[in-house]
């Protein structure tokens, strides 16, 4: 079973939108063990779409087409597929009813052109639309219908939902591959991507390249290094068991570098530890300028453990609000006083602080990337110095996850 | 002149990396007025790369190939192009010297396989490598050399530098289009994308579709709605003059919706206004949780006008630190007290505040998206209520630019 992906839209060619859909679909196909050799982007032009589909069907058993299913005159994927199938479009009554009901339920008048979305090439099966107005399509192609063109909307969340619900299961069934595919993302911090690669290399080799389970990893900046384990099996339960066993292998290798086994952020992981201890946190930020706080409030339920923060950008704010003593502000003394000061001022159990040099020039005689992370927890008030790589933005971003990871490790002790 | 783009790399098909290069190249080709009808992604397989190139050359005059120029055995773009040209690879002595010098200048030993990057299809012209180790290639194809394949590295900043320096000028010369292309991005806030579209529609129609200059716009969330004007002319000066005239037209239409004519952030625009008045700013954030502050510190030189902020997430922090009176915290009174309190506590001239409901549930009887923006400037301390669309993250993001825009308009008065 060979598959190709075709993304439709002049706006993709013009670079107005980056085509993330094809990448995501490629990732899913790989996880499902389906060969996938080419992706094409083409504009909203019927002749060119037809040509791309015909060429793809000369090489592949299945083609996933993304985009061009909306209500406007530019949306011509349905027409192009009908040409390739050699059939007419037929108005599908049930699909039309669903579209009418969607508008009615939102209390909005339906422009008549929305019913174009109910036009289906004769012989194709619509994929029910659950999150948008456009249905997807499963279109058998060729004299014996052994090939297939799937059409899904270009809106990412509509595409993903339809691919997972209808397209991938259908593809897996046709390919005769195991239907149950599960994956899990572990996140790590504290070692470089190349070090994580080195640590995992023997295990990946033991799994024999693109075997089952598979292990893939990706450095994602402030999100940590993501290690994704994917397993395939005839049943969901068998796949989960494979996954559990492989997660245990990976955790044995990576140890406390792993901060989440559920693709959570570092902030969420720290929030879980604080909640378990019934403690609250306050942050004092100089270098990171509010980034730690803004990441924390994005965690659902953070109000249970997060009191707030002080962004002490000007040096005299550090002194006046947080009680930082006179002297250089990129220093152990400043980081400690900030952490201790913010938990006192905001009435929190734990205080965390960042102060350092984002760059591009030196500050207090320290080079860019020099960061002090302060931590006030119980009777202990201390700070460590780290050196971070990259430009201003990267130094700031890395200081956030580094500060939170330090707290995580302390809470684990 | 028709052009196609081919991105090479199995990691692109597997979705490990999102192909942003093709989008960027597409944008550049559109700006240069060069037709561009298809983009293809293919893995690191010589036969398949050769097939993709041959097919593209049946349709197009020029093909830009991105990726596969590195030193490893997976990097086979050079070999594939040589097959398409029907020539051998030849070691290019000068290119090899440059690679050796690059390693020597960094004090690193050069693995021998790096010299593969100096292998050039006979008849091709290398594009000097200035930011990485791999040169690009300009490869004439066909009996009379009227067609061309350009090869550039897949590393985005290497690709961009080489495209701008060598590929686009060469393409423009071959296409006989004007060589000088300049563009400028205006940013707006205060009207929806569809309203901006409606306002600009007569002007875009007057420019006759893909004319010269061109106007394109793109909603970019917290970055505002970007309106990009691009002009082509035989000389740089003539293009700049076209651009100046068109910017004046666009500004006359959009008025004070435009907050930057130089693609600056809203924070930078506000910083410019504060600097001109010699005033400083402090922010008090509940809903936005540090996002306003973190965006401000990303502005170069923000320390001249930004004092810092208080993230008052817990209600009693609002009271204890900022002096917010008892009562609902999603309210005019709270927003006013926060703005006034933070400028007092942090010793700033201007205080700005955000308080509201990010969702997903109601708070203080208010629905998600309800936001109060407070502003304390001189003797005036006030707040306005706005209603923002979207999920938690989007409500937060939009509250940031809305708050800063309010300050901008006040400073302009």
CATH number at residue A228: 3.30.70.2860
Question: In the predicted model, what is the mean pLDDT of residues B72-89?
Answer: 94
* Both structure tokens of B101: 């010098």
- Residue B87 clears pLDDT 70, i.e. is over it: yes
Q: Chains A, B: CB contacts under 8 A, how many?
A: 209
Spatial distance between the Cα atoms of A151 and A127, rounded to a whole number of angstroms: 9
CB contact under 8 A, A292 and B290: yes
Give pLDDT tens digits for B173-208: 888 766 677 889 999 999 887 788 889 888 888 886
- Residue A130 clears pLDDT 90, i.e. is over it: no
Are residues A151 and A231 located together in one domain of the fold? no
Question: In the predicted model, what is the mean pLDDT of residues A115-141?
Answer: 93
In this complex, the residue of B41, B48, B303 whose CB is nearest that of residue A313 is B303
pLDDT of residue B142: 82
Of the pLDDT bands very low, low, confident and very high (cuts 50, 70, 90), residue B359 is confident
* Both structure tokens of B239: 């293009």
A364 lies within 8 A of chain B by CB: no
Question: In the predicted model, what is the mean pLDDT of residues A272-295?
Answer: 97
- Residue A7 clears pLDDT 70, i.e. is over it: yes
ω into B186 cis (within 30 of 0): no
CB atoms within 10 A of CB A11: 18
Are residues A168 and A185 located together in one domain of the fold? no
Quote the mean pLDDT of chain A.
Answer: 92
A260 lies within 8 A of chain B by CB: no
- List B residues 35-54 in contact with A (Cβ-Cβ < 8 A): 36-43, 45, 48, 52
Of the pLDDT bands very low, low, confident and very high (cuts 50, 70, 90), residue A209 is low
pLDDT of residue A310: 98
Question: In the predicted model, what is the mean pLDDT of residues B30-34?
Answer: 82
Are residues B401 and B303 located together in one domain of the fold? yes
Q: Assess contact for B369 and B391: CB atoms under 8 A.
A: no
* Selected residue with higher pLDDT from A220 and B24: B24
Are residues A6 and A41 located together in one domain of the fold? yes
Spatial distance between the Cα atoms of B286 and B387, rounded to a whole number of angstroms: 16
CB contact under 8 A, A309 and B311: yes
CB contact under 8 A, A314 and B303: yes
* Selected residue with higher pLDDT from B48 and B27: B48
CB contact under 8 A, A289 and B293: yes
A377-381, B102-106, B115-119, B134-138: which range is least confident on average? B102-106
pLDDT of residue B106: 76
Question: Which residue in chain A is spatially nearest to B20 when comparing CA positions?
Answer: A18
A75-89, A94-108, A234-248: which range is least confident on average? A94-108
Q: What percent of chain A has pLDDT over 90?
A: 69
Chain A CB contacts of B317 under 8 Å are 307-308, 346-347
Q: How far is CA A49 from the centre of its chain?
A: 30
pLDDT of residue B210: 55
CB contact under 8 A, A297 and B309: no
Are residues A38 and A20 located together in one domain of the fold? yes
Tokens 């969901």, located at residue: A236
Is the ipTM, as predicted for this complex, more than 0.95?
no
Give pLDDT tens digits for B235-282: 889 999 999 999 999 999 999 999 999 889 999 999 999 999 999 999
Q: Give the range with max mean pLDDT: A20-24, A360-364, B402-406.
A: B402-406
* Listed residues B209, B235, B260: the one ending a domain: B260
Q: Assess contact for A185 and A227: CB atoms under 8 A.
A: yes
Strand partners, A171: none
* Listed residues A240, A260, A280: the one ending a domain: A260
pLDDT of residue A208: 67
Tokens 């209808």, located at residue: A166
CB contact under 8 A, B42 and A38: yes
CB atoms within 10 A of CB B394: 16
Q: Assess contact for B388 and B399: CB atoms under 8 A.
A: yes
CATH number of domain containing B8: 3.40.980.10
CB contact under 8 A, B16 and A218: yes
Spatial distance between the Cα atoms of B20 and B17, rounded to a whole number of angstroms: 9
- Residue B337 clears pLDDT 80, i.e. is over it: yes
Question: Which residue in chain A is spatially nearest to B218 when comparing CA positions?
Answer: A16
CATH number of domain containing A334: 3.90.950.20
Q: Assess contact for A307 and B310: CB atoms under 8 A.
A: no
- Residue B209 clears pLDDT 70, i.e. is over it: no
Q: Assess contact for A324 and A318: CB atoms under 8 A.
A: yes
Of the pLDDT bands very low, low, confident and very high (cuts 50, 70, 90), residue A210 is low
Count of domains forming chain B: 3
- List A residues 321-360 in contact with B (Cβ-Cβ < 8 A): 321, 345-347, 358
Residue B291: closest CA among A310, A293, A223:
A293
Are residues A159 and A45 located together in one domain of the fold? yes
Looking at the complex, report in whole angstroms how far the Cα of residue B41 sits from the nearest Cα belonging to chain A: 5
- Residue A407 clears pLDDT 80, i.e. is over it: yes
**DSSP-based three-state secondary structure for A378:** coil
Question: Which residue in chain A is spatially nearest to B302 when comparing CA positions?
Answer: A313
**Chosen from A35, A297, A321, A358 to mutate, greatest number of chain B CBs within 10 A:** A297
Spatial distance between the Cα atoms of B396 and B131, rounded to a whole number of angstroms: 38
Are residues B105 and B239 located together in one domain of the fold? no
CB atoms within 10 A of CB B361: 8
CB atoms within 10 A of CB A180: 17
CB contact under 8 A, A296 and B302: no
* Listed residues A260, A288, A309: the one ending a domain: A260
**Chosen from A282, A283, A309 to mutate, greatest number of chain B CBs within 10 A:** A309
Are residues A31 and A100 located together in one domain of the fold? yes
* Selected residue with higher pLDDT from A377 and B363: A377
Chain A CB contacts of B296 under 8 Å are 289-290
CB contact under 8 A, A17 and B23: yes
Question: In the predicted model, what is the mean pLDDT of residues A196-208?
Answer: 84
CB contact under 8 A, B16 and A216: yes
Are residues B23 and B145 located together in one domain of the fold? yes
- Residue A397 clears pLDDT 80, i.e. is over it: yes
Question: Which residue in chain B is spatially nearest to A400 when comparing CA positions?
Answer: B294
Non-local CB neighbours of B130 within 8 Å, separated by 6+ positions: B161, B162, B165
Residue A158: closest CA among A182, A137, A134, A181:
A134
β strands within B189-240, DSSP E? 214-219, 225-233
* Selected residue with higher pLDDT from A86 and A173: A86
Please state whether beta strands A306-312 and B306-312 pair in parallel, antiparallel, or not at all (unpaired). Answer: antiparallel
Quote the mean pLDDT of chain B.
Answer: 92
Question: In the predicted model, what is the mean pLDDT of residues B157-185?
Answer: 87
Are residues A40 and A156 located together in one domain of the fold? yes
Question: In the predicted model, what is the mean pLDDT of residues B306-311?
Answer: 98
Looking at the complex, report in whole angstroms how far the Cα of residue A94 sits from the nearest Cα belonging to chain B: 30
Q: What percent of chain B has pLDDT over 70?
A: 98
- DSSP assigned state of A60: -
Are residues B153 and B46 located together in one domain of the fold? yes
pLDDT of residue A179: 65
Of the pLDDT bands very low, low, confident and very high (cuts 50, 70, 90), residue A110 is confident
Domain that holds residue B275: 266-412
In this complex, the residue of B19, B52, B307 whose CB is nearest that of residue A313 is B307
- Residue B48 clears pLDDT 90, i.e. is over it: yes
A386 lies within 8 A of chain B by CB: no
Looking at the complex, report in whole angstroms how far the Cα of residue B398 sits from the nearest Cα belonging to chain A: 14
Of the pLDDT bands very low, low, confident and very high (cuts 50, 70, 90), residue A88 is very high
A70-79, A178-187, B136-145: which range is least confident on average? A178-187
Of the pLDDT bands very low, low, confident and very high (cuts 50, 70, 90), residue B76 is very high
pLDDT of residue B105: 82
Are residues B326 and B348 located together in one domain of the fold? yes
DSSP secondary structure string for all residues of A89-155:
EEE-HHHHHHHHHHHHHTT----GGGGGGGEEETT-EEEPPSSSS--EEEEEESTT--EEEEEE-SS
- Residue A183 clears pLDDT 90, i.e. is over it: no
How distant, in Å, are the alpha carbons of B3, B199, B254, B267, B315 from that of B260? Answer: 34, 18, 12, 10, 36
Give pLDDT tens digits for A227-258: 988 888 888 899 999 999 999 999 999 999 99
Residue A95: exposure state from Cβ atoms within 10 A (0-12, 13-18, ≥19):
buried
Spatial distance between the Cα atoms of A323 and A254, rounded to a whole number of angstroms: 40
In this complex, the residue of A39, A347, A396 whose CB is nearest that of residue B13 is A39
pLDDT of residue A197: 81
Spatial distance between the Cα atoms of B234 and B238, rounded to a whole number of angstroms: 7
């Amino acid at each position: 079973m060979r598959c190709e992906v075709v993304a439709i839209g002049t706006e993709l060619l013009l670079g107005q939108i980056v085509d993330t859909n094809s990448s995501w679909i490629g990732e899913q196909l790989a996880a499902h063990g389906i060969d996938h050799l080419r992706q094409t982007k083409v504009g909203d032009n019927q002749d060119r779409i037809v040509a791309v589909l015909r060429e793809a069907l000369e090489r592949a058993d299945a083609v996933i087409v993304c985009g061009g299913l909306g209500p406007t005159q530019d949306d011509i994927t349905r027409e192009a597929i009908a040409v390739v199938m050699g059939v007419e479009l037929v108005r599908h009554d049930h699909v039309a009813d669903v579209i009418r009901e969607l508008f009615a339920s939102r209390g909005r008048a339906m422009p008549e052109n929305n019913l174009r979305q109910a036009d289906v090439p004769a012989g194709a099966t619509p994929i029910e639309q659950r999150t948008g107005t456009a249905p997807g399509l499963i279109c058998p192609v060729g004299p014996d219908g052994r090939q297939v063109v799937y059409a899904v909307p270009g809106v990412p969340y509509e595409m993903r939902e339809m691919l997972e619900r209808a397209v991938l299961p259908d593809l897996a069934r046709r390919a005769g591959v195991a239907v149950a595919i599960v994956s899990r993302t572990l996140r790590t911090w504290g070692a470089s991507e190349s070090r994580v690669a080195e640590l995992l290399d023997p295990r990946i080799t033991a799994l024999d390249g693109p075997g089952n389970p598979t292990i893939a990893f990706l450095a994602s900046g402030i999100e940590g290094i993501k290690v994704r384990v994917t397993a395939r099996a005839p049943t969901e339960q068998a796949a989960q068991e494979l996954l559990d066993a492989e997660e245990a292998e990976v955790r044995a290798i990576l140890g406390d570098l792993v901060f989440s086994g559920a693709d959570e952020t570092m902030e969420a992981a720290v929030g879980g530890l604080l909640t378990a201890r019934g403690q609250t946190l306050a942050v004092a930020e100089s270098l990171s300028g509010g980034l730690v706080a803004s990441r924390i409030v994005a965690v659902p339920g953070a109000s249970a453990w997060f009191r707030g923060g002080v962004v002490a950008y000007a040096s005299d704010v550090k002194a006046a609000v947080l009680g930082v003593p006179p002297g250089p502000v990129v220093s152990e003394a400043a980081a400690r006083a900030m952490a201790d000061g913010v938990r006192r001022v905001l009435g929190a159990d734990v205080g965390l602080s960042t102060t350092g040099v984002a760059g591009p020039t030196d500050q207090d005689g320290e080079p860019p990337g020099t960061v002090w992370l302060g931590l006030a927890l119980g009777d202990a008030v201390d700070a460590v110095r780290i050196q971070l790589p990259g430009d201003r933005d990267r130094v700031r971003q890395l200081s956030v996850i580094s500060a939170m990871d330090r707290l995580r490790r302390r809470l684990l002790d």
